[in-house]
Structure 1
Amino acid sequence: MENGLVECNEDDKEYHKITKPTRSLYVTTQKPHRLAENWIKINDSKIDILRLVTLPVEITTEIFHQLPLEVGYKTGFYMDMDTAPVSLTAVCRSWRGIALSAPTLWSTMEICFDDIPSTVVAKPGMVESFINQWLGRSGECPLFLTFTLPHEDHFPISRLRAILHQHAQRVRYLELNLGEYQPIRPLELHTLPFPLLQAANVHCDFRVEDRVFDNAPQLHSLHVRGYSAVAPHRFHLPWQQLTIFEGSIHNLDLFVVAPNLVNIKCGWAGGDSNPGMITHSCIKSFAVTDSAYDKILQYLTLPALQHLDLSEGDTYDFLGSFLERSSPPLISLRVQADDPAFAQWHQALVHVAATLEDIEISYASTEAMTSLLSLGERPWASPPWRTLNVLRNIKTLRLPHVVDPVGLYQLVKFLYSRSDKLRSFQLVWDASPFLDERPRAGAPGTPDTEDTIVGHFSRLQAAGMDIYVGTRVKNYAVTIE
């Protein structure tokens, strides 16, 4: 550790010597009846490992370069054999050489500075040396960095600032988790050139007149989290070049200062309630992360909207007028359908009937399910009957968080009626209504036993109870043979 990045083993013997205490501890913690089973699995896997390590170097190198290394895997300050790319270097000498010469493997780093022992932090330059050695192996590859520093008293923010200043020229993705109450200003991000930066995720406290990313010409995606909601008039960013935004807002200035937004996901933190009508011609995907979506939609017109997510909402008073006003080519919609919500939004579907292909309806009540699966056998009934009948182009229908039982015969008839267009259907109960549900139950004075519903019926029958649960032609309470 004190020499920076931990070098991997020179040969297999050294590797086994280093990992022997860990493996011994693992063995002693296993139950005896599992040891033989585990060793069989290990021996069987040797054949597959041998095939991998004997591949030509060119093929192995290409495989390493194609690894889907996403932001979020931990580098750590100690050798972790489960962490890429260190795990690759520990297989054998050949893989070690290939991994150390594959720069893309070393271009991603995630560090939580609070997890670094204070004895290490106290040694000047040790943390920085580790970071420099790791990223130094990445050559000229763009960097994907995630730094977490919720408490400045453990690792001075001035040292994090120096790290960012050193590597800013190569950063393509930057995530800074400073906590809700730690300001971002001390990092002086507005003074840094970020010529490659395309996406940033910032969790911090924003103060009046804070400036960030003034010199990031390619920045187009921003995710902002913190105690304070974003107010564009006091938080200086290259708003006009943003195409993706996620964060809380307390007014609708964002829709004015960021005219090129295409994808937005936001929450409402309160603020101005009547800004006047705003038209935004570029937004194609819009999601609201809390129930106060009406504070936003009632003042917006989004004629290019294709994807609308209001699944966190519990009232939909303004949805109909919004869709009628915007007349968007809406492709996908996510809403809730408990009784009050369903009564508010179901009639609004007529405004997007020609284009809607994908709909997700959460928490559908019994009334909503009856309406959704209706085939129109009640022509005398007024809406909400036949809710989906107007949506003839639906290809995907998802019904998550269903609470009440559903008439399966009616469901089958509905699916057949839509089989010419419907390609994907999903209905998910919060609790299984089927006989394969596995609850724990038992007679008074006896331990509860986990079993299927049918299994519990059978146990009761075996104990002498006469049970019939089923249809006129079949009893599902099967007796144990």
Structure 2
Amino acid sequence: MPTIHLRRRLVELDAQILEQKRVLLDLQQTRIAVERELRETATYPILTLPVEVTIEIFHRLPLEVGDKMGIRRNTAPISLTAVCRIWRGIALSTPTLWSTMNISFDDIPSTVIAKPGLVESFINQWLGRSGECPLSLTFSLPQLEINSLYDQVDFSIRRLRPIIRQYAHRVRYIELDFKEDTRISELELHSSPFPLLQVANVCCDFHIETRVFSNAPLLHSLHLGGEEGVIVTRFHLPWQQLTTFEGFIDNLDLFIVAPNLIDVKCYWSGRESTLGVITHSRITSFTIIRDCDILQYLTFPSLQHLDVYPLVTYDFFESFLKRSCPPLISLGADAAGQGFAQWHKALVHVAATLENIKISYVPHEVMTSLLSLEERPWLSPPWRTLNLLPNLKTLHLSPVYGPVDQFYELVRFLYARSDKLRSFQLEWFTTPFLDAWIGAGAPGAHEKADTITGHFSRLQTAGMDIYVGTPNRNYAAKTHDAADV
């Protein structure tokens, strides 16, 4: 082939190669564009959601991650800002995401605390993004352990004073968990108005006379933490407007200075009262932990919910119910104490209204008497007490100590109560034998022969929620389609 033709052929091939390179370059650029679009849409479909939906999802995220500033909870905003540019913009422009702050100062590195104004700057930056939203603030300065880091720098409570004062007008919830030797008076909480404050949780040294929240017209719920009784008269705050209280007390002043209380959960130090019996007409829910002897000094005629842990002295329990004669709906008790052996006598005074009973640490003899009562209507009170509970809807016994072998009585008990009883729980630690057959049925109905578990299934089909078994297994779970009760 002549040389001129070969040269012409090379020129044509070079042209074709250049064309293919151009086509390849166009394809590569198109691929990059498609890949970018895929990342922004298909890989993260959540980015296509309306902003309102994305914000709602952000609010519901259960993120609990920490950071170098000691934020233990509610750090979802910080985490979200690091995902992508779009999420960062949404998070930073959503004030409600920044309206809750929970800081534990002993988790912050000493190098950070030691720098003046660094922690305060972070707090102001966070809360500055909250706009005008009501705030929930938690500041914790727990007691340092003996073996804690030797270079730990303590955070002075005085550094919080200007921060709380600056944002007091927007605080709706505040929690102050301080060391025992920390004086809350250094915050001067009495000098700042808290027009939105509704709930306060305070744990500090309560033995120092202190004024707090003097100007908080909406404050209605107070939790005073600590391990020792609080001398209420030394803790000056608007007691008369409180409706909810939880905390340790060492005298009965609470029930005098706070006449509008409705819900009370307290830890009683056990000191004798010199005030006699105090009547509080508004309390509807009362929980006493540690020592129920306080009941001998109280009368609650409006009480609807009572929890006693543990019930140590039966006489005080019965005299309290007899004296108060309350329209009690729910009763919870710890039966581990010796005083629970004759608990049936006390139920006579509230039997007409009682709907829910929950007993913890149930002795075997209490379980035995409980189930046998329904079968012995001829006995005189108090042994016929449960027959006087016409409105019983919930009965929970957990755990029961000792062998549980009264399953025949249990099945008949549940059938007898099947018209009203909606929830029954019996929990113990041993494995039962529930394959025995028994004939039983609802009052007025023809008895049916079935296994014990079969009868449980029938009762569940009829609408009763039943849990009978160990903490890990419910032997009353449905096993077949049961006939009507």
The interval holding the TM-score normalised by the smaller chain is 0.7 to 0.9
Deviation at 1:232, TM superposition (A): 2.4
Once the two structures are TM-superposed, the CA of residue 163 in structure 1 deviates from its matched residue by: 2.0
Greater mean deviation of Cα atoms: 88-97 or 191-200: 88-97
User: Which of 340, 348, 351 is the equivalent residue of 1:350?
Assistant: 348
User: In the alignment, which residue of structure 2 is the partner of 1:445?
Assistant: none
Are 1:233 and 2:225 an aligned pair?
Answer: no
Equivalent pair of 2:262/2:283 in contact (CA under 8 Å): yes
Larger deviation: 168-177 or 148-157? Answer: 148-157
State the identity %: 64
Alignment of 1:268-279 (within 5 A): 268-279=268-279
Does the alignment pair 1:334 with 2:328?
no
C-alpha displacement of 1:197: 0.9
2:108 is the counterpart of 1:116: yes
Q: Give the CA deviation at 1:405.
A: 2.5
**What displacement does 1:340 show?**
3.0
Structure 2 match to 1:411: 410
User: What is the Cα deviation at residue 338 of structure 1?
Assistant: 4.5
Residue 55 of structure 1 aligns with which residue?
Answer: 49
| Structure 2 Cα separation of the partners of residues 195 and 281 of structure 1 | 28
Residue 227 of structure 1 deviates from its aligned partner by: 4.7
Letter of the aligned partner of 1:92 in structure 2?
A: C
Q: 2:200 matched to which residue of 1?
A: 200
Query: Is the contact between residue 75 and residue 110 of structure 1 (CA under 8 Å) also seen in structure 2?
Result: no
Asked whether the 8 Å contact 2:194–2:215 carries over to 1, the reply is yes
Q: Could you tell me how far 1:96 is from its partner in structure 2?
A: 2.1
Q: After the TM superposition, which residues 374-389 of structure 1 pair with which residues of structure 2 at under 5 Å, given as runs?
A: 374=372, 376-379=374-377, 381=379, 385-389=383-387
Alignment length, in residue pairs?
386
CA displacement at 1:77 relative to structure 2: 2.2
2:76 to 57, 79, 84: 84
Q: CA deviation at 1:176?
A: 0.7
1:165 match? 165
Residues 346-367 of structure 1: CA deviation (Å, up to 9, x unaligned): 1110111111111101111121
2-structure distance, mates of 1:227, 1:188: 24
Give yes or no for the alignment of 1:145 onto 2:137. yes
Partners of 2:158 and 2:413 in 1: CA distance: 63
Amino acid at match of 2:47: V
Q: Contact conserved, 1:350 with 1:390, CA < 8 A, in 2?
A: yes
- Unaligned 5+ residue runs, structure 2? 1-39, 145-152, 435-485
Contact 2:105 2:155 in 1 (8 A): yes
Task: Deviation per CA, 1:249-294: give whole Å up to 9, x if none.
Answer: 111111111000001111112434231121111101000111x212
**What is the identity, as a one-letter code, of the residue corresponding to 1:178?**
F
- Give distance in 1, aligned partners of 2:219 and 2:170: 13
More displaced 10-residue stretch of structure 1: 80-89 or 173-182: 80-89
Whole-Å separation in 1 of the counterparts to 2:316 and 2:261: 22
Residue 306 of structure 1, CA deviation: 0.6
Specify which of 391, 395, 398 is matched with residue 397 of structure 1.
Answer: 395
Question: What CA distance in whole angstroms lies between the structure 2 residues aligned with 1:372 and 1:224?
Answer: 38
Superposed displacement of residue 109, structure 1: 0.8
Name the stretch that deviates more: 346-355 or 386-395: 386-395
Q: Give the aligned residue type for 2:307.
A: D
Q: Structure 2 counterpart of 1:110, which letter?
A: N
2:256 matched to 1:262?
no
Q: Shift of the alpha carbon at 1:63?
A: 3.7
Equivalent position SS for 2:233: coil
Larger CA deviation: 207-216 vs 354-363: 207-216
Task: Answer whether contact 1:181 1:227 (CA < 8 A) is retained.
Answer: no
* Contact 1:180–1:204, Cα closer than 8 Å, also in 2: yes
| Residue 441 of structure 1: aligned partner | none
| 2:369 corresponding residue in structure 1 | 371
2:458 matched to which residue of 1? none
The range that moved more, 244-253 or 255-264, is 244-253
The TM-score normalised by the length of structure 1 is 0.74
Change (3 A) 1:154 1:306: same
Residues 107 and 138 in structure 1, CA contact (< 8 A), matched pair in contact too: yes
In the alignment, the residues of structure 2 paired with residue 332 and residue 154 of structure 1 have an alpha-carbon distance, to the nearest angstrom, of 46
Matched residue, 1:129: 121
Equivalent position amino acid for 1:117 in 2: P
* Higher mean C-alpha deviation, range 236-245 or range 55-64: 55-64
Where does the alignment leave 5 or more consecutive residues of structure 1 unmatched?
A: 1-45, 437-481
Structure 1 residue 314 displacement after superposition? 2.4
- CA 1:421 to 1:252, structure 2 compared with 1: closer, same or farther past 3 Å? same
Letter in 1 for 2:408: Y
CA deviation vs aligned residue, 1:157-179 (integer Å, no higher than 9, x gap) = 21122222222121111111112
What one-letter code is carried by the residue in structure 1 that aligns with 2:419?
D
Q: Secondary structure at the match of 1:218?
A: coil
Tell me if the contact between 1:280 and 1:302 (Cα under 8 Å) persists in the aligned partners: yes
Q: Deviations over 1:6-48 (max 9, x none)?
A: xxxxxxxxxxxxxxxxxxxxxxxxxxxxxxxxxxxxxxxx999
Letter in 1 for 2:411: V
Which residue is equivalent to 2:280? 280
* Structure 2 Cα separation of the partners of residues 273 and 375 of structure 1: 38
Which secondary structure state, in structure 1, belongs to the residue aligned with residue 160 of structure 2?
A: helix
Q: 1:73 to 1:305 in 2, by over 3 A?
A: farther
Question: Which amino acid in 1 is paired with 2:278?
Answer: I
Q: What secondary structure, in the 3-state scheme, does the structure 2 residue paired with 1:374 have?
A: helix
- Cα 1:48–1:367 change in 2 (3 A) is farther
Q: Shift of residue 133 of structure 1?
A: 0.7
Residue type of the alignment partner of 2:269: A
Q: Which has the larger radius of gyration?
A: 2
Over the residues paired in the alignment, what is the CA RMSD in angstroms?
Answer: 2.8
In structure 2, what is the Cα distance between the partners aligned to 1:399 and 1:172? 39
Cα 1:217–1:286 shift into 2, 3 Å: same
Measure how far apart 1:151 and its partner are.
5.5
1:245 aligned residue: 245
| SS of the residue 2:232 aligns to | coil
Q: 1:239 to 1:384 in 2, by over 3 A?
A: same
Contact 1:371 1:386 in 2 (8 A): no
Question: Residues 73 and 351 from structure 1, CA distance in 2 versus in 1: closer, same or farther, beyond 3 angstroms?
Answer: farther
Partners of 1:63 and 1:168 lie apart in 2 by 29
Give, in whole Å, the separation in 1 of the partners of 2:382 and 2:99: 55
Equivalent residue, structure 1, for 2:177: 177
Q: Which amino acid aligns with 2:202?
A: V
Matching residue of 1:289:
289
Q: Out of 295, 301, 309, which is 1:311 matched to? A: 309
Q: Which segment drifts farther, 243-252 or 402-411?
A: 402-411
Alignment CA distance shift 1:371-1:53 (3 Å): farther
